[in-house]
């Protein structure tokens, strides 16, 4: 796939790797942004990867825009030849689906929703052809998800479902955004799931909430003491449905500073994934739950 390079005012170059999200586009974006970082190009001040694109901020007094553009285009040739293998980690994220807090919130904003007579998750289940909400939850939590970018607000991950394209869940955003979303809401918009790292406005459908903090600017959370943001692009996520009792138990552990997420190091090969998606996902699950 050929990337599209454009200037953004005087200090930015925007590179669109693909018009649609795919793991192939993600790997090319990752390869190119890693190359920019490793090259330590004088004048480059920020590297911002996204789902299928990235943006570079630079100081035009230190590097001529045309020179940087040429360097990025040269890096694209190398990225196209790079082996799509990633040393990463798989993480289990507990989710209390249909919790009372997101339910109360979504009921306050029904006039902004496509179907005011149903909940967000009921609507998502219906338009995706599932017979029940339970069947929908099983599909949402049954396969792993790829973190394709982190941003929009601090620490918020965008997650892409690792299944065949015809099995991917797709749900439109609200007709008009809400002015409120509970912290740690598990949401859905388009083909992406997400976790709202902080309370605030939002337009994604709300399915549940996790007790697991993913952003802590004070770095008091045990597993966030080294860095305030939990997720990074390339992480793989497995949702774990939990009930109110387990939610309260996890939350108590978080407050006591004893909660530790289940994390395992894995190697992900895009070529192997494309050859046999279900087998690759099964191997990832085996790695996650191996003692």
pLDDT in tens, 17-57: 998 888 898 889 988 998 999 999 999 999 988 888 999 99
- What gap in Å lies between CA 149 and CA 163, rounded to an integer? 18
**CATH number attached to the domain at 4-81:** 3.30.1360.40
> pTM to 2 decimals?
0.92
Q: What pLDDT score does 82 carry?
A: 75
Mention every residue, 6+ apart, whose C-beta is less than 8 A from residue 167. 139, 161
Neighbours of 82 (CB within 10 A): 14
Q: Dihedrals φ, ψ of 107, to 5°?
A: -70, -25
Those residues with Cβ within 8 angstroms of residue 204's Cβ, 6 or more apart along the chain or in another chain: 173, 174, 181, 187, 188, 189, 194, 196
Q: How far apart are CA 34 and CA 30, in angstroms?
A: 6
Report residue 96: phi and psi, to 5°: -90, 90
Q: Give residue 123's pLDDT.
A: 98
- Does residue 268 sit in helix, strand or coil? strand
Mean pLDDT of all residues in 267-287:
96
Q: What pLDDT does residue 246 have?
A: 98
Architecture per CATH, domain 87-289, reads as: Beta Barrel (2.40)
Q: How many CB atoms sit inside 10 A of residue 13's CB?
A: 19
Q: DSSP secondary-structure letter at 19?
A: S
Look at residue 269 in the predicted model and tell me its pLDDT.
Answer: 95
pLDDT tens for 181-222 read 999 999 999 999 999 999 999 999 999 999 999 999 999 999
* pLDDT at res. 1: 64
What digits encode the pLDDT tens for the residues 236-250? 999 999 999 999 999
144-171 pLDDT, tens digit per residue, is 999 999 988 899 999 999 999 899 999 9
The answer to whether 214 and 254 have CB atoms below 8 angstroms apart is no
pLDDT score at 270: 94
CA-wise closest residue to 144 among 171, 122, 125, 167: 167
Q: What percent of the chain is modeled with pLDDT above 90? A: 84
Q: Where are the domains of the chain?
A: 4-81, 87-289
> How many residues are listed for the chain in this entry?
291
């Amino acid at each position: 796939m050929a990337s599209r390079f454009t200037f953004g005012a005087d200090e930015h170059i925007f590179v669109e790797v693909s018009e649609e999200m795919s793991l192939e586009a993600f790997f090319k974006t990752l390869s190119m942004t890693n190359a920019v970082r490793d090259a330590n190009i004088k004048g480059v001040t920020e590297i911002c990867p996204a789902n299928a694109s990235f943006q570079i901020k630079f100081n035009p007094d230190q590097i001529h825009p045309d020179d940087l553009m040429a360097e990025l285009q040269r890096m694209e040739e190398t990225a196209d030849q790079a082996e799509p293998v990633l040393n990463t980690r798989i993480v289990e994220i507990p989710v209390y689906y249909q919790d009372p807090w997101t339910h109360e919130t979504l009921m306050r904003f029904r006039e902004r929703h496509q179907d005011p007579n149903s909940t967000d998750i009921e609507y998502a289940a219906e338009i995706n052809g599932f017979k029940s909400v339970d069947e929908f939850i099983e599909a949402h939590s049954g396969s792993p998800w790829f973190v394709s970018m982190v941003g929009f607000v601090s620490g918020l991950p965008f997650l892409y479902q690792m299944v065949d394209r015809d099995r991917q869940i797709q749900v439109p955003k609200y007709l008009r955004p809400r002015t409120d979303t509970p912290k740690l809401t598990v949401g859905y918009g388009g083909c992406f799931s997400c976790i709202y790292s902080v309370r605030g406005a939002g337009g994604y459908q709300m399915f549940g909430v996790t007790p697991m903090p993913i952003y802590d600017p004070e770095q008091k959370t045990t597993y966030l003491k080294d860095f305030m943001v939990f997720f990074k692009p390339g992480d793989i996520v497995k949702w774990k449905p939990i009930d109110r009792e387990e939610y309260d138990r996890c939350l108590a552990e978080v407050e006591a500073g004893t909660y530790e997420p289940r994390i395992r190091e894995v190697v992900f090969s895009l070529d192997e994934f494309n050859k046999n998606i279900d087998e690759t996902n099964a191997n990832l699950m085996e790695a996650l739950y191996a003692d």
